[in-house]
Structure 1
Amino acid sequence: MPRVAAHVLLLTVIGASVAPSLAATVSEAEKLLLKGSYEECIELAEAEIEEGIRLEQWRHVKAEAELAIGRYADAMATVEEGLESYPQSIRMRMLAHQVFRFNGRDELAAMHLGRVGQLIETRSRRYWSTNDLLTLGRYLLMQGEDARRVLELCYDPITAQHPDFIIGHLASAELALEKYDHALAAQTLESAPEAAQSDPRYHYLLARAFADGDPKRASAALAKALELNPRHPESLLMQVERLIDAEQYVNARSLLAKVLEVNSKHPVANAYQSVLHNIAGDEQGESSARNAALSSWKSNPEVDHTIGRKLSDKYRFSEGADYQRRALEMDSGYLPARVQLAQDLLRLGEEEEGWRLIQEVSATDGYNVVAHNLATLHDSLVKHQVLADDAFYLRMEQHEAAVYGERVLDLLSKAKQTICEKYDVSIEEPVVVDIFPNKNDFAVRTFGIPGADGFLGVCFGNVITANSPAALGDTKANWQAVLWHEFCHVVTLKKSANKMPRWLSEGISVYEELEQDETWGQRMTPTYRQMVLDGEMAPLSELSSMFLAPKSPLHLQFAYYESSMAVRYLIENYGFETIKIILDDLAAGVSINEALVRHADPLGKLNSGFQEYLTSEAEGLAPKLNWDEFDLPPAAEADAVAEWLEGHPDNFYGLIRHAQTLQRSGDWQAAIDPASRLRELYPEYTGAGNAYTLLSQSYHELNDEASEREALEALAARDSEATGAFFRLAEMAEQNQDWGAVLQNAERLLAVDPLTPIPHRYLARAADALEQPTSAIAAYRALLEFETSDPVNAHYRLATLLQDEGRRDEARREVLLALEDAPRFLDAHKLLLELVDMNDEAPSTDAPSAEHGERESEGQTAGDAETASEEP
């Protein structure tokens, strides 16, 4: 049906909609259907139909129940009888379209769908009920009508005019979920009538709406749906999907058995069976389950889409993409497969085809949130600067690329050399690395939708996405540690053929952070200590479950920590080579638990051994400290805290509070004693209220610079994100002309926040003084990228360094830039004359000129340059 005609029709019929009025016995049948008593529902409906009751809804409820238990042939017979009785019903025709497909009658299904369009064209004023209007909306969506238009012209008026009509709210919410508009879906459901609380479909859709943003509420909604209907297939399958995500495959199979007991032909249930066989390395089982899923409807694109989507969730993007292509061979217009394929291709680094698909989907379906977000992102990505070599294809915002892009490439190159050699992995194709200054852009590139708080970076295999320091706001993170962590994923995913469990993948990456730099990674903390002793740790064989719907961001971080400790436990007890062998086994299709049993110990022994190991680590954390809870009010003064400490000597929390209260009262000298005691008993603590910060503050106020510096250096040696310490150390070192220390702390600062000029200024001066021209030139170029710099002196010092390196053309360019802003700068004129004379004496041997960055000099200031000489 032409779209224009459909719009006209919608406008015609909306005002005529009325709420349906069903017989009480039909309501009873529908209640049986909703609570999962499908067989009873069929019996009741069949009896009424045989009695000759002339009510179309009996055929609908009977056919839906028959579909639910896989009696597809019976459903077809029901529909055929219904078509004879109600040949002009568009609802019956749409039901026929569905039922005939599940009976392998694709041509007849298409014929009935076409008949719906014909009936609407010729008898538009006949279809005025709410059920007909819903049918009309579904038909238009299948014809490619814009989803927003269907919402506005069809579904929204139903919910507005008939707010008690539950199905209208459900249809609107389901459409929003299909387009990834979870917020609108939740809003629509929350406005549904109170009666919706007794409908399992309502709670199931609510669980989907809150699945990403509010896992606790989603779990509660799913539990309620299954309380109302323990056989509700969609809710059971959502639980199955969660179990697969958590790598609880035995439980997933058990739950699938419940679904298949109700309907052995269920296409999505059998698709999940196929996924489980794939994960287990059972190709024959994978194929057999897929065939079962397609046994009734051979061209059902949802089957291959579901298999592929779950394989992609397991980072098997190549296999996932193949399945999406299969789905599209069955139905080229199946948008979920097109969107998923586009995302798979982008995660595989096959960007040309991936972006083309996204643009096509966005043009076809303007309401698809993921496609719209990605299409919008693409428009901004093309403005990013590309830094590339044989190993990496790095994209960054232009300013950031100029400021620290080369540092990123150097870090990645070092990671590749170190980690690939360690794990015996060769990576031939360039790794794509996208770094985003906007966290929502990062989230869209990574997940398709905004809202990835808590993620610093993500690796898909040969593609890494990461937040830049600019995206993190006040949060500080060492970007070098983040990229090292993510590149480790590149290596281990390659070695395991993307078949490793989440806990092992994350555990190795955190472990390798600490192996590279002892200030990176995660260690036991007072909070983790308490979580372990409170029994919040998971068995080693079930660690991946901790990454699924964690209680809080803290619990997610604890999952990373515990996973790294599991890797450390395996290495300490079975050797590093065991980890490599396990990864090789995973690549060959061996399950993680089987690999652990092969090369380590039975799971029971591993679980108990690891529990003892981690518990020992927790109990061994600062064992001489008292860990009793500090129960004084926040306003307690120093004397009250000191008195409390008498009853809790060497209490961790008390020592911190005592030092802090003494400092607040101005007794800086007295604060040194509790802070020193804390340092003595727990030297590795660098969290809030750590001894080094307390000590350095006291020593600073007491003008004891040597002691202040010692405390800050001790902190800097333990914490890669202690920017306050780095700044102060650089400042003191510069005052003492300790250029080595200035250089060291400038580098530390740049590893956390390279987007401020101060660390580049420190680095430029230190490298200049230490006669390290390569570092000095790079630092001055970076400094020139900031508007707050002194460009005259930066260009002049850069010109001087370039001259010393024999890069005269570049040096002349920089000195001319200095003179452009300070035309009376005498030293710059002298340097320019030298460069001209040198040019007359010998040909230039310059390398090609790079774009200037920024740098600053200790020499004459721009103001001095203006008055230094009146000579031209």
Structure 2
Amino acid sequence: MTWERGFQRCWRVAIAMAALHGSASAQEPAPIDAARSAFLKGDYAASLAAAQKATPDDEDFPEFIALEIRTLVETGKYQEAVERVGELGRRAAFYPELALEAGRALRAAGHRDVASDLIERAVRFEAPRPAKDKSRATVAFGELLLEHRVDAKVVLDRLLEPAKKADPEGRAPYLALGKLALANHDRQLAAEYFREGLKRFPGDPDFNLGLEQSGLDLPAANREPGIASYLDLALKANPKHTAALLFKATELTGRKAFKEAKDVFEQVLAINPDHPEAWAGLAAIALVQDDEKEATAAIARAKKLHEDNPRVPEIIGTTLAGQYRFAEGIKYLEEARQLDPLSPPILFELGSNQLRFGQLDHGWENVALAHELDPYNVAAFNLITLRDKLRDYPVREKDGVRLRMSPEDMAVFGGRALELAARAKTTLADKYGIRLSVPVMVEILPKQEDFAIRTFGLPGGESFLGVCFGPLITMTSPRGRLGRSNWEAVLWHEMAHTITLDASRHRIPRWLSEGISVFEEREVHAGWGQGMTSEFRKRFLDGEVPPISRLDESFAGEDIMLGYYHSSLVAEYIVRTFGMEAMRAILADLSTGKPVDEAIAKHTKTANLEKDFLEYAKKIANSYGPDLDWTPLEDEEYVAYREDPAKWVAANPKRYAATMMLVSALTEERKWQDSKDLLEKIIAAEPNNRESFNPYMSLALACRGLGDEAGERAALLKLLSIDSNVSDAAARLLELGGTMSAAERAAHGDQMLQTNPFQEKAYRTLAAAAKESGDPRRTREALESLLALEPRDAGRLHYELATLLRKSDPVPARRQVLQALEENPRFQAALELLSTFPPAPPNK
């Protein structure tokens, strides 16, 4: 009997045996299942031994050979795997699972053409019909088609979904469907498949890894010491799970935990000493750390078996771009594209990073090609859809800044945004001694979803207001966040990132970049950026803050807000103590690859930076309400307070929490004078109070209740000088009457527009103040913004603008008066004004 005929006979026997001995199988796993189980647990020696022990008489012989090849590849025995495939000859294409593993072995060893030939022969066979006993074969055939770059939807509809339906308790369909969804950036759909698979195969490391890659958090009920994520569960089930270890190392690299990442990559190499992805990951870390010698050696090891392996430059490029080293990352991704010009993942990664780095034409071209080759890639589809929308968005330029906004937003506050962006760029570039070689593109997108897709490729990222990639800044329009944040402070913050990234050649650690940006916010306006609070005060005084060398870790956990403030204090300390020259020199050293701790030590000339900085920070912390007791009430104290709040506060006047609770009660009872008396005492103890339950807003309410307009205005102004995000305070200032100069009224209008640039009253206030001050340019700007909001008195405003422009700019003036008459054809003053213009020239 020939080997292949025996193969086919055994295949038929396997089906018959499964039918006849189903009950026995439930009691004792088949040998192939036991061997696969050993592989899943990471017992590769047992898996290999079982596979090599099989003979052609075994019912699952083709699957044993497939497992043997897979195990050899997993453990780095590439040559043995290739030799095993060679022994099979053309027979390797007869069975889908075997052909799949054989093709992957050949490709891993650098035999790409031979692998492609094998897969092409394998897919010529008729696809196994979806059935309970053939789901693995059906899925494997589908994966062969995907590797052959057959339309993913065809594979999904004709093979993978039918395989799941025919074998709902089978493992392979759920795993393949989840991986396909992940490849198409549809993490929600992927999670559904992996979750279904995990229900049927509890503890399966592949499904746990899939859920981790889908972005799901492990429910609290499933957590235990040492197990905080699905990734932990995967590695608990199989500590040698190469894919899980690579994912973990990549995540650690993204968080700049390079030492820990290297350790995990070394774990992979202990399993497979020649694993190209592990060596590529180590090469990327070496490049990020500017260790060219180590990087060169690691790249050589990564290409040891396969000089033209596109995954090596793809991994390096993706990692570098993730560290904001876009220029270098794009170079490696272009190398990957040259090695595999039709790879949708490579094209998308290259294109999306080109878009982030301001290389818009090339970026859109590559993303479009990725979408054309794989129309089911959700991220590419999202970006192409957004591109079509962005084409209709106007762009304005000034002093090396290009601003793109929706037509509606551009008409209302585009001028204000461009003016601010250009001023921020010029001011900060001069301060840090750099000259940008390319324009800065600022894109303010009207919907949060559009911002997320432009920035990350996928919806989400609701906590982000803006992101800077260097020459590109993306922001959400304040249209969707009215009154919830100061968009002007955000824009200044992001422009500071542009400057420090350029000054350091994108080598600045996140904590220092964020610290400088928050510091520069405060330099513009004390109410921008972050300041000391009672919570931060306690953390610094109790020593519950990380050392400077570990500040980056603050941005990956719950302490992110403290991380921003802590980092900004370090930046402030360096500039205040050693001068801007020291900060510029630190950034210059970072641009050469010098580690940040060495750069700071070189230019601060202090024996103990950590100690000296903490003294500086603790001095600021101690000065924040030093005579107040900021601690919350204990249970016993709260019980005593509730019995007689006024008496308890009188006996404990320094307890901030109790005083503010009493103020809240007095406000509800409209006991304005009692509330004001308490508030003035608490404010005197800390005039720059930044607590979330702020006494100045309560004081303004009390003054309003007492008819003290001057007191109310003073409280609101003080509050906004401390925290410019309080839009309610800005709005109330606009409502207040009284005698104010034009400059004061303009300042109130400007303050309102920082959080809500769509506020009609603010523009009316600015227009009136500018007119009174004799400033026609600002009058015009305010009136044009106001008209873009389509107010009810548009006709009168068009007339007012026409009157303003009549002598200086008669063509727009005539257009404005005509628009006034469109609103009201009987507008007598507009008719009279129109009669003063010469007739319009006839259309040519």
TM-score normalised by structure 2 residue count: 0.90
Q: What do the CA deviations read for 1:9-56 (whole angstroms, capped 9, x no partner)?
A: xxxxxxx9x999796333332222122222233234333459988622
Once the 2 structures are TM-superposed, how far is the Cα of residue 515 of structure 1 from its aligned partner? 1.2
User: Corresponding residue for 2:746?
Assistant: 743
Q: What do the CA deviations read for 1:501-529 (whole angstroms, capped 9, x no partner)?
A: 11111111111111122121111222333
User: Corresponding residue for 1:236?
Assistant: 245
Percentage of pairs with the same residue? 32
User: Corresponding residue for 2:187?
Assistant: 182
User: Corresponding residue for 1:487?
Assistant: 495
Once the 2 structures are TM-superposed, how far is the Cα of residue 438 of structure 1 from its aligned partner? 0.4
- Confirm or deny that 1:790 pairs with 2:799: no
- Which secondary structure does the structure 1 equivalent of 2:475 belong to? strand
- Which secondary structure does the structure 2 equivalent of 1:131 belong to? helix
Q: 2-side partners of 1:608 and 1:333: how far apart? A: 55
CA 1:471–1:635 in structure 2 vs 1: closer, same or farther (change >3 Å)? farther
- Confirm or deny that 1:107 pairs with 2:116: no
Equivalent residue for 2:174, pick from 169, 172, 175:
169
User: Corresponding residue for 2:476?
Assistant: 467
User: Corresponding residue for 1:863?
Assistant: none
After TM superposition, the structure 1 = structure 2 runs for residues 507-522 of structure 1, keeping only pairs within 5 Å, are: 507-522=515-530
Once the 2 structures are TM-superposed, how far is the Cα of residue 656 of structure 1 from its aligned partner? 1.1
Equivalent residue for 1:442, pick from 451, 457, 463:
451
User: Corresponding residue for 1:576?
Assistant: 580
User: Corresponding residue for 1:252?
Assistant: 261
Once the 2 structures are TM-superposed, how far is the Cα of residue 466 of structure 1 from its aligned partner? 0.7
Contact 1:716–1:722 (CA under 8 A) maintained in structure 2: yes
Q: Name which of structure 1's ranges 518-527 and 632-641 shifts more when overlaid on structure 2.
A: 632-641
Once the 2 structures are TM-superposed, how far is the Cα of residue 542 of structure 1 from its aligned partner? 1.5
Q: 1-side partners of 2:545 and 2:244: how far apart? A: 28
User: Corresponding residue for 2:6?
Assistant: none
User: Corresponding residue for 2:4?
Assistant: none
Equivalent residue for 1:654, pick from 658, 669, 672:
658
Q: What do the CA deviations read for 1:289-334 (whole angstroms, capped 9, x no partner)?
A: 1221121123322221111111000111121111111111111121
Once the 2 structures are TM-superposed, how far is the Cα of residue 354 of structure 1 from its aligned partner? 1.4
Aligned residue type for 2:318: R
Once the 2 structures are TM-superposed, how far is the Cα of residue 776 of structure 1 from its aligned partner? 0.8
Once the 2 structures are TM-superposed, how far is the Cα of residue 83 of structure 1 from its aligned partner? 5.3
Q: What do the CA deviations read for 1:155-181 (whole angstroms, capped 9, x no partner)?
A: 223333323222321211111111111
Q: 2-side partners of 1:38 and 1:430: how far apart? A: 55
Contact 1:520–1:720 (CA under 8 A) maintained in structure 2: yes
CA 1:475–1:166 in structure 2 vs 1: closer, same or farther (change >3 Å)? farther
Q: What do the CA deviations read for 1:472-509 (whole angstroms, capped 9, x no partner)?
A: 2x552222111111111111111111111111111111
- Confirm or deny that 1:293 pairs with 2:295: no
Once the 2 structures are TM-superposed, how far is the Cα of residue 530 of structure 1 from its aligned partner? 4.2
Q: Name which of structure 1's ranges 566-575 and 77-86 shifts more when overlaid on structure 2.
A: 77-86
User: Corresponding residue for 1:92?
Assistant: 98
Q: 1-side partners of 2:487 and 2:611: how far apart? A: 36
After TM superposition, the structure 1 = structure 2 runs for residues 216-615 of structure 1, keeping only pairs within 5 Å, are: 219-472=228-481, 474=482, 476-532=484-540, 537-548=545-556, 550-551=557-558, 555-600=559-604, 605-611=608-614, 613-615=616-618
Q: 1-side partners of 2:610 and 2:188: how far apart? A: 40
User: Corresponding residue for 1:60?
Assistant: 66
User: Corresponding residue for 2:767?
Assistant: 764
Once the 2 structures are TM-superposed, how far is the Cα of residue 698 of structure 1 from its aligned partner? 0.8
User: Corresponding residue for 1:869?
Assistant: none
- Confirm or deny that 1:801 pairs with 2:794: no
Equivalent residue for 2:33, pick from 27, 40, 63:
27
Q: 1-side partners of 2:157 and 2:621: how far apart? A: 58
- Which secondary structure does the structure 1 equivalent of 2:788 belong to? coil
User: Corresponding residue for 1:775?
Assistant: 778
Contact 1:207–1:219 (CA under 8 A) maintained in structure 2: no
After TM superposition, the structure 1 = structure 2 runs for residues 5-84 of structure 1, keeping only pairs within 5 Å, are: 24-49=30-55, 55-82=61-88
- Confirm or deny that 1:157 pairs with 2:159: no
Q: 1-side partners of 2:453 and 2:554: how far apart? A: 24
User: Corresponding residue for 1:146?
Assistant: 151
Once the 2 structures are TM-superposed, how far is the Cα of residue 572 of structure 1 from its aligned partner? 3.9
- Which secondary structure does the structure 2 equivalent of 1:784 belong to? helix
- Which secondary structure does the structure 1 equivalent of 2:438 belong to? coil
- Confirm or deny that 1:664 pairs with 2:664: no
CA 1:613–1:172 in structure 2 vs 1: closer, same or farther (change >3 Å)? farther
Q: Name which of structure 1's ranges 299-308 and 614-623 shifts more when overlaid on structure 2.
A: 614-623
Q: 2-side partners of 1:695 and 1:795: how far apart? A: 41
Contact 2:132–2:166 (CA under 8 A) maintained in structure 1: no
Q: Name which of structure 1's ranges 234-243 and 489-498 shifts more when overlaid on structure 2.
A: 234-243
Aligned residue type for 2:230: A
CA 1:615–1:224 in structure 2 vs 1: closer, same or farther (change >3 Å)? farther
Once the 2 structures are TM-superposed, how far is the Cα of residue 749 of structure 1 from its aligned partner? 1.0
Aligned residue type for 1:490: T
Contact 2:198–2:208 (CA under 8 A) maintained in structure 1: no
CA 1:192–1:530 in structure 2 vs 1: closer, same or farther (change >3 Å)? farther
CA 1:180–1:601 in structure 2 vs 1: closer, same or farther (change >3 Å)? farther
CA 1:663–1:52 in structure 2 vs 1: closer, same or farther (change >3 Å)? closer
Q: What do the CA deviations read for 1:382-421 (whole angstroms, capped 9, x no partner)?
A: 1111112351211111121111111111111211221111
- Which secondary structure does the structure 2 equivalent of 1:129 belong to? helix
Equivalent residue for 1:678, pick from 682, 686, 695:
682
Once the 2 structures are TM-superposed, how far is the Cα of residue 568 of structure 1 from its aligned partner? 2.1
User: Corresponding residue for 2:9?
Assistant: none
* RMSD after superposition: 3.0
Aligned residue type for 1:177: L
Which blocks of at least 5 consecutive residues in structure 1 are unaligned?
1-15, 844-872
- Which secondary structure does the structure 2 equivalent of 1:120 belong to? coil
Contact 1:792–1:817 (CA under 8 A) maintained in structure 2: yes
User: Corresponding residue for 1:698?
Assistant: 702
Once the 2 structures are TM-superposed, how far is the Cα of residue 682 of structure 1 from its aligned partner? 1.9
Once the 2 structures are TM-superposed, how far is the Cα of residue 461 of structure 1 from its aligned partner? 0.9
CA 1:401–1:700 in structure 2 vs 1: closer, same or farther (change >3 Å)? same
Which blocks of at least 5 consecutive residues in structure 2 are unaligned?
1-15
Q: Name which of structure 1's ranges 76-85 and 24-33 shifts more when overlaid on structure 2.
A: 76-85
Q: Name which of structure 1's ranges 308-317 and 216-225 shifts more when overlaid on structure 2.
A: 216-225
Contact 2:69–2:84 (CA under 8 A) maintained in structure 1: yes
Q: 2-side partners of 1:256 and 1:609: how far apart? A: 37
Contact 1:391–1:428 (CA under 8 A) maintained in structure 2: no
- Which secondary structure does the structure 2 equivalent of 1:172 belong to? helix
